[in-house]
């Protein structure tokens, strides 16, 4: 959007706001948008916002569903008994390199919401622990971290944590 267009939009918004603010209290221009007219319709309703509102509500619903699926998958993994390398896809447990599983679970929950296939908005960070490709390779990973199994991601995060502490995760690791 050009500077001139932004200035025009901003000026329009200010003019609209001033027009509403200068109206007497309780006037139609200052309705809260929740008053109903004599036909039961909401006064102050802006039809142009219906589609974005529906899109937003659907996005929230999909996010909740995804979070429930992730939580169910984590719960089913947590209820498995034993911690042999067979259960962890052939990778040693985090404890084998001196890192607690609960520490890594907290980092994963913060970094990716527990989604092993998560990719940051800018595409730079991937997987449960939001590895970049260089860091992933530095702990023996190859390819896309988000394509690796959750067990491999956790093992490689444990290796990184054992080498550098929580510094690769300045916000979620503290």
User: What CA–CA distance (Å, rounded) separates 137 from 159?
Assistant: 12
Average pLDDT over residues 24-42: 52
Element containing residue 6 per DSSP (H, E):
helix 3-21
Rounded to whole angstroms, what are the CA distances from 124 to 32, 117, 127, 146?
Answer: 43, 13, 11, 11
Task: Give the dihedral sign, CA 109/115/121/125.
Answer: positive
Helices 150-164 and 101-112, axial angle in degrees (round to 10):
110
Contact 107, 169 (CB under 8 A): yes
Contact 153, 145 (CB under 8 A): yes
Residue 58: band (very low, low, confident or very high) from pLDDT cuts 50, 70, 90? confident
pTM listed for this prediction? 0.51
pLDDT of amino acid 48: 83
Kindly report, residue by residue over 149-174, the tens digit of the pLDDT. 999 999 999 999 999 999 999 988 77
Q: Decide: residue 82, CB within 10 A, 0-12 exposed, 13-18 middle, 19+ buried.
A: exposed
Among 68, 67, 147, 155, which Cα is nearest to 113's? 67
pLDDT of amino acid 13: 65
Average pLDDT value for the chain: 79
Contact 92, 136 (CB under 8 A): no
Kindly report, residue by residue over 84-130, the tens digit of the pLDDT. 444 456 899 999 999 999 999 999 999 999 999 999 999 999 999 99
Q: Kindly give the residue spans of alpha helices, DSSP state H, lying in the chain.
A: 3-21, 50-79, 101-112, 133-138, 150-164
pLDDT of amino acid 73: 75
């Amino acid at each position: 959007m050009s500077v001139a267009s932004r200035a025009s939009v901003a000026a329009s918004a200010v003019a609209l706001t001033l027009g509403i603010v200068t109206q007497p209290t309780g006037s139609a221009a200052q309705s809260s948008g929740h008053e109903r007219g004599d036909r039961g319709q909401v006064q102050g309703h802006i039809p142009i916002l219906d589609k974005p509102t529906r899109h937003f509500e659907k996005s929230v619903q999909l996010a909740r569903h995804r979070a429930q699926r992730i939580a169910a998958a984590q719960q089913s993994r947590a209820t498995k008994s034993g911690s042999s390398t067979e259960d962890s896809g052939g990778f040693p447990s985090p404890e084998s390199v001196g890192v607690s599983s609960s520490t890594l679970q907290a980092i994963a929950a913060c970094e990716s919401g527990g989604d092993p296939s998560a990719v940051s908005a800018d595409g730079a960070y991937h997987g449960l622990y939001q590895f970049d490709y260089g860091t992933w390779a530095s702990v023996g990973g190859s390819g896309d971290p988000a394509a690796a199994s959750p067990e491999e991601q956790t093992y490689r995060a444990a290796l990184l944590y054992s080498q550098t502490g929580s510094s690769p995760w300045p916000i979620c690791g503290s």
